[in-house]
Amino acid sequence: MKILLITDDFLPHMGGSRLYYYNIFRLFPSGETVVLTKKVPGSGSFDRHEDILRIVRVPLPLLKIKKIGDILIYINLLAASIGIFFKFRPDIIHCGEVLPSGFVGLLLSRLFNRPYIVYLHNNEMTYDTFRGEKYVFYRVLKNAHCIITACNFVRDYFMEKLPEKRMVLVNPGITKDFNHIGGFDPQRFKTSLGLKDTRVILTVARLVRRKGIDNVIRVLPRLIGKYGDLMYIVIGEGPDQERIVALAEDLKVSRKVTIKGVLGQDKIKKYYSISDVFIMPNREEAFGDIEGFGMVFLEAQSFGKPVIGGRSGGVSDSIVDNVTGLLVDPNDLDQIEKAIDRLLSDKGFADQLGSSGRKRALEEFCWDKKAKDVYLLSEQIVREFHQRKIDRA
Tell me, yes or no, whether 69 and 153 share the same domain: yes
Tell me, yes or no, whether 372 and 337 share the same domain: no
**pLDDT, averaged across the chain:** 93
In this prediction, what percent of the chain has a pLDDT beyond 90? 82
Tell me, yes or no, whether 372 and 358 share the same domain: no
Name the band, by pLDDT with cuts 50, 70 and 90, for residue 65: low
pLDDT of residue 66: 60
Distance CA 308, CA 8 (A): 31
**Nearest residue to 131 (alpha-carbon basis) of 108, 94, 99, 155:** 99
CB atoms within 10 A of CB 76: 20
Residue 319 forms part of a structural domain:
yes
Tell me, yes or no, whether 314 and 378 share the same domain: no
Tell me, yes or no, whether 338 and 192 share the same domain: yes
Residue 237 forms part of a structural domain:
yes
Tell whether the model's pLDDT for residue 392 goes beyond 90: no
Tell me, yes or no, whether 199 and 257 share the same domain: yes
Tell whether the model's pLDDT for residue 182 goes beyond 90: no
Tell me, yes or no, whether 8 and 127 share the same domain: yes
Residue 180 forms part of a structural domain:
no
Tell me, yes or no, whether 376 and 273 share the same domain: no
Single-letter code of the amino acid located at 180? H
Q: Domain range spanning residue 78?
A: 3-173+366-392
Task: Give the length of the chain.
Answer: 393
Tell me, yes or no, whether 165 and 60 share the same domain: yes
Tell whether the model's pLDDT for residue 61 goes beyond 90: no
Strands (E), the chain: 3-6, 33-38, 54-58, 92-95, 116-120, 146-149, 167-169, 199-204, 230-235, 257-261, 277-280, 307-310, 325-328
Provide the number of structural domains found in the chain: 2
Question: What's the CATH number where 227 sits?
Answer: 3.40.50.2000
Residue 321 forms part of a structural domain:
yes
Tell whether the model's pLDDT for residue 167 goes beyond 90: yes
Tell me, yes or no, whether 192 and 333 share the same domain: yes
Tell me, yes or no, whether 112 and 244 share the same domain: no
